[in-house]
Structure 1
Amino acid sequence: MTSRQKVTFSSEGATLTGHLFLPDAAAPAPGIVVAGTWTSVKEQMADRYAERLADRGYAALSFDFTGFGESGGEPRDVESPELKIRDIRDAVTFLAGHPGVDGTRLGALGVCAAAMYMSANAADDPRVRSLALVAPWLHDARLCAENYGGDDGVANKISAAEKAHARYRETGEVEYVPMVSGTDPRAALPMDVDFYLNPDRGGVPAWPNRFAVMAWKGWLTFDSIALAPRITAPTVLVHSEDAAIPDGARRFHDGLAGPKDLVWTDGVQFDFYDQEPQVTFAADAAAAHFTATL
């Protein structure tokens, strides 16, 4: 039977809190680091996938990034690709050193935005020997322009981010807007999304539904498509034409330097966070990929 332990580890002085799901196995199990969407906490989707992987024989770690959820670090709830990639590397280090984990057989699973961060770490971290990306959000400047109001829309968000960051440096105050809202056009996702707003799904108490305006610059200038030629670890992408930016998944897949597979199924983006059959389909595909490559 799968067990869950609350664990902590350090990342550049911040204490990060996670859940380590362990399979019922006598020998150390292959380890998988799991992370979810932008601004998310572990309880929203990472725990779900980590538990599914443990049910399939893997030691799986979900955790809150620096400044999010139960983890330490200031400022709070600021989406930073740079910090999240650093945290993932430190999570890999923790997992590699755990007695219940085979530190020579490590992989990573990223849902949505974490696909970018897991890929960035895998490009530079040879300990990550296999990569699974579920409903991956993978963007570059072109895709950001297509999704954020064209070149002018992107430029306006970057300008707002620079002003918000200057204010933070001067006053220590973080300017927030809603992460998800169907009524506030300033929201990072200006639409009603049931997953995030429904307390029976992802609208959990640990998630404050806010987005730091100063985070727009790092998000919009991050080029994940350019990472693909640097990734040699075997990689599987599980996606749908009705989910977010499938063109990004195709272009990323085309550029990968190592063994690769792109598995198409049905469902909108948010189905892959907590709905069936999408979660089981993705977990099965990821587990099969890890079995073949770890």
Structure 2
Amino acid sequence: MFERAVGCQRGDLSRSGPLRRSFVVPVCEQVGFAGETGKLAGHLFLPDADEAAPVAAVVVAGTWTSVKEQMADRYAEELARRGFAALSFDFTGYGESDGVPRDYESPALKVRDLRAAADFLATHPAVGEGELGVLGVCAGAMYASAFAAEESRVRSLALVAPWLHDRRICEENYGGPEGIEAKKAAAAAARRRYEVSGEVVYVPVVSGSDPDAAMPFAIDFYLTPERGGIPQWPNRYAVMAWSEWLDFDAVAIAPRVTAPTLLVHSEDAAIPDGARRFHAGLAGPRAFLWTEGDQFDFYDQPRQVGLAAGAAAEHFARTL
């Protein structure tokens, strides 16, 4: 069962500029579907309201801590312009979706949410039977890959500016073994506090002044309202999530991914070494498109989004 209403209340995508020259004007439906612990809220972008024939579907997973309006909507809309039914949604505990604790980054739960999204698409009359792709942006690439590794329905995978880490990469990015153990100790303390009192300890996701922030940098995309610093996103990270995040090994997933996989990345984006090692380990057909731009350009800048969305659409057209 699903609920839908035509006309999404989503972020302003008009600033995508040249991207809007594309092929068709998509229709966006507000949808709700069952997750593991409650209702998940999404936007389903369709290529044509009057299209009679079902089309291939793609689930879009945005980066960690994000809501659908920050980057997933943008990619879903661009895929719909290119002929696909594309679903962006808020993961459990984020945005408009149900779930507590709020803003808790659980890779395992996000993979289960992707399965719920696939179940929803399988019931939708606009979607062709058995035709499912998944696109992951940044850390969404980890969740999309884990889902593809265990779900035969995923026939094609595209990863944009993928953050794909293992223990070595975590040590390089989070202060070595000592830094990781400190974060895991803080997570354990926060978990005990939550279990006793129900209180969630949060730090900012992004901050140029708080050293405890998940990303202790003044990142323009997240701090600028005209980009990703939107009202739907509270800029908070549940400290007790650190252990699960740091223990997740995305590079080790690659040998279990048999679906044709495209990676789109840049040497100036996040951890290209992790993307290279993941790509080398893939069990199925694989392709790598190297381009230019920093990590956050791939979230909303016309040149990078247009190139990545176009390459992903071509990949899905060949493999779905």
For residues 83-102 of structure 1, what are the structure 2 equivalents within 5 Å? 83-102=109-128
Residue 117 of structure 1 corresponds to 143
CA distance in 1, matches of 2:118, 2:139: 18
Partner AA of 2:196 in structure 1: E
Residue 16 of structure 2 corresponds to none
Query: Does the alignment pair 1:2 with 2:26?
Result: yes
CA distance in 2, matches of 1:125, 1:257: 15
CA distance in 1, matches of 2:40, 2:251: 28
CA distance in 1, matches of 2:118, 2:161: 22
Residue 218 of structure 2 corresponds to 192
CA contact (8 A) 1:131 1:234 kept: yes
CA distance in 1, matches of 2:59, 2:45: 10
C-alpha deviation, 1:173, in angstroms: 0.3
C-alpha deviation, 1:26, in angstroms: 2.3
CA distance in 2, matches of 1:211, 1:143: 20
1:118-145 deviations in whole A, cap 9, x for unaligned? 0001001000100000000000000000
Residue 105 of structure 1 corresponds to 131
1:159-202 deviations in whole A, cap 9, x for unaligned? 11011011101110000001000001010000001100000000
Question: What SS class does the counterpart of residue 302 from structure 2 fall into?
Answer: coil
Range with greater deviation from structure 2 (23-32 or 199-208): 23-32
Instruction: Give unpaired runs (5+ residues) of structure 2.
Output: 1-24
For residues 127-276 of structure 1, what are the structure 2 equivalents within 5 Å? 127-276=153-302
CA distance in 1, matches of 2:245, 2:102: 16
Residue 15 of structure 1 corresponds to 39
CA distance in 2, matches of 1:103, 1:288: 20
CA distance in 2, matches of 1:96, 1:128: 12
CA distance in 2, matches of 1:20, 1:276: 21
Query: Does the alignment pair 1:39 with 2:65?
Result: yes
Residue 309 of structure 2 corresponds to 283
CA contact (8 A) 1:16 1:72 kept: yes
CA distance in 1, matches of 2:129, 2:201: 41
C-alpha deviation, 1:35, in angstroms: 1.2
Query: Does the alignment pair 1:30 with 2:56?
Result: yes
CA contact (8 A) 1:31 1:103 kept: no
Question: What SS class does the counterpart of residue 34 from structure 1 fall into?
Answer: strand
Compute the TM-score of the two structures, normalised by the length of structure 1.
0.99
CA contact (8 A) 1:179 1:209 kept: yes
CA contact (8 A) 1:144 1:154 kept: yes
CA distance in 2, matches of 1:89, 1:135: 22
CA distance in 2, matches of 1:144, 1:73: 28
* Structure 1 consecutive aligned stretches of length 4 or more whose deviation exceeds 4 Å: none
C-alpha deviation, 1:76, in angstroms: 0.4
RMSD, matched Cα: 0.6
CA contact (8 A) 1:137 1:248 kept: yes
Query: Does the alignment pair 1:55 with 2:111?
Result: no
Residue 17 of structure 2 corresponds to none
C-alpha deviation, 1:13, in angstroms: 3.1
CA distance in 1, matches of 2:212, 2:258: 39
CA distance in 2, matches of 1:256, 1:103: 26
Instruction: Give unpaired runs (5+ residues) of structure 1.
Output: none
Percent identity (aligned): 67
Question: What SS class does the counterpart of residue 277 from structure 1 fall into?
Answer: helix
Compute the TM-score of the two structures, normalised by the length of structure 2.
0.91
C-alpha deviation, 1:103, in angstroms: 2.7
CA distance in 2, matches of 1:236, 1:60: 17
CA contact (8 A) 1:30 1:101 kept: yes
Residue 6 of structure 2 corresponds to none
Question: What SS class does the counterpart of residue 206 from structure 1 fall into?
Answer: coil
1:249-279 deviations in whole A, cap 9, x for unaligned? 0000000000000110000000000002100
Residue 7 of structure 2 corresponds to none
C-alpha deviation, 1:96, in angstroms: 1.4
CA distance in 2, matches of 1:98, 1:79: 28
